[in-house]
Each structure stands twice: as C-alpha cells, then as structure tokens.
Amino acid sequence: MILSRWVFFSCRNTPVVKVSDRQHSEFRGLSSTTTCRQSLRCSCLKSKSPQETTQIEQLGKEEGFSVLASEIPWEDNNIWSTFALYMFSLHIPLSFGGLSIVANILHQQVLDPQTQVLSLVALQMVELVGTVILLKITAKPQCKSIDFLKGNDSREARNWVVGSALGLGCLVGFIFITSLVADQLYGSKAVHGSELENIMVNGGDVSRSGCFALYCVLAPILEETVYRRFLLTSLASKTEWWKALVISSGVFAAAHFSGEDFVQLFGIGCVLGTCYSWSGNIVSSVLVHSLYNALTLVPYVTLLSTFG
C-alpha cells in the first residue's frame, strides 16, 4: 500500500491498497506478501558452465546498474499466465469483493471501523499466503525452495541500506513535487471526513494498530513480492532491466484501478523497482514502501493528538 498523495496536499493521499466498495476507496493502495523463510535463491537451478558464467559476467558489466539475476525460478512462458491467475483468483476477489463478503456473512450493510480494518488485515493475509503458495506451485520443478524476501541471485552484493535511503528520499521528493503540480493544476481538496481519517481519529487503538499493520507491513511485503520479486525479476531475465522496470511499474499502477493517481503510482513503482534492481535485495524496496506508507499516516496521528 502506498499513499499516492500526501494528506498535506490532497485527499487522494490514502495508503495504496485496494478494497471492494467505493465507500471504502480510501484503502486503495499497495499490497504485499508474507515473510517466508525458504530459499528462492534457486539453489535448484543447474550449475552453469564456465562459458555461461562468463557471458553472465559480461552482461553484468554491460548493464552496470542492475544486478538482478538472469536465472529465475519460473518458466519464461508462464510469467503472464501466473500473474493473471494471481489477479483474477486472489487480488480482485479479495481486494475488491472481500469486504462485501464479510458484510454479508455478518449481516451488516455497513461495517464499523474496527471490523472493517480487521477484515482488511485478514483478507490481506489470505492474499499473501495464497500468493506465496501460487508462486511456489508455479515454480520450476527443480526449484524446491524460494526465498521471497531475498531474491539476491545476482552477480554482486550491494548495500541495500544505502539503496533504501536513496530510494526513500527520491520517493518523498517525487510525491512532494507531483502533489504540488497537481494542486496547481486541479486545486487542492479537503481531506477531512475521509474514511481513513475517521478510523484513525475515532476508531480506537485496535483500528489504528490494524491500519499500521495493513499499510506498513502486509501491503508492502505483498506488493513487492508480486510486482518486484516476481514480475520485475521475471521480465528482467528476458529483456533490459529498464524496460522490465517500465512494464512492471505500468502494471503495478494499473492494478490499483485509480486513473487519477496513475502517474504517481507509476512513478512510485519505478522508484521501488529501481531500489530492487540496484541492490538485488527485495528488502530494500519493502523497507522504502513501508516507511513511505508510515509517513503518509503521520498527518492522521497529528489530527488524533490535536482533536483527541
């Protein structure tokens, strides 16, 4: 989840996570995946001949910036079918229909803030577990273990902490500038009265804790696993890394079904994908994603201290 615009500038600044009904649109944002401890480092892949190793090293020198590996745990011709399976069997049903299902089960037309937040947390966890299972099932037969949070099958290790710091700075600067430009072009909108503000200010400690868990833990892990660890890595194994970055960022932005925030979401995807491509470690983009979402929740905490 990621907030596309800061609350200081526009009401569109809500954590990136997708939900079912339009009345819950504030929860649209970036989602993510679970912390599996197995090894995607694909020890499963066959050992390379000296000639293949030399070719990979030469390719690395030519690319320079990206250290993503050319070998992936998934078959090249199954990338888009696997992603489509994720979208239509997990993401869309759970993110856009999940709350409606919960409301029907509880026989309530409108869910109270605490039930709404806890339901979203549970739905995100189900999506996360389902995604991990899907990616493990669709992996190559020889790939028995996948470390979704490492993914550093690269030729050289880089300092992911440095990459995270630079990425967060670039992301904050990008959102700040684009928010100012958007406010100049379309005018700023009031943020008071939003669903997220209502939950953060009036929802109680449980609801607020659920929001932080949703936006700062579950969503970043899920979305970085799907769009960076799986999609970007898979595409980068077939083409130049920057082309894979553009394609995966475009898919990432489109998957949020938010036309007005598409440009910002695309830029966010590019920054997060660049962090991952440079460091070769998905922890870098997960951390940037999580910290940015935490920053976007700060204004609501300020409102709480002011009016609480």
Cβ contact 74:230 at 8 Å = yes
Give phi and psi for 306, each to the nearest 5: -80, -45
Q: What distance in Å separates the CA atoms of residue 132 and residue 137, rounded to the nearest whole number?
A: 9
The pLDDT score that the predictor gives to residue 43 is: 43
The pLDDT score that the predictor gives to residue 200 is: 81
The pLDDT score that the predictor gives to residue 308 is: 57
The pLDDT score that the predictor gives to residue 256 is: 94
Q: What is the mean pLDDT of residues 179-195?
A: 74
Task: Look at residues 193, 176, 149 and name the one whose alpha carbon lies nearest to residue 303.
Answer: 193
- Average pLDDT value over all residues in the chain: 80
Domain edges within the chain: 22-34+44-307
Buried b (16+ CB within 10 A) or exposed e, 3-21: bbbbbebbbbbbbbbbbbe
121-148: per-residue pLDDT in tens? Answer: 999 999 999 999 999 999 988 876 766 6
Judged by average pLDDT, the poorest of 7-21, 85-99, 135-149, 249-263 is: 7-21
Whole-structure pTM over 0.85, yes or no?
no
Whether the pLDDT of residue 37 is over 50: the answer is no
The pLDDT score that the predictor gives to residue 138 is: 92
The pLDDT score that the predictor gives to residue 201 is: 76
C-alpha distances out from residue 165 to 15, 144, 274, Å: 20, 33, 12
Q: What is the mean pLDDT of residues 56-62?
A: 47
Instruction: Specify burial of residue 296 (Cβ count, 10 A radius: 0-12, 13-18, 19+).
Output: buried
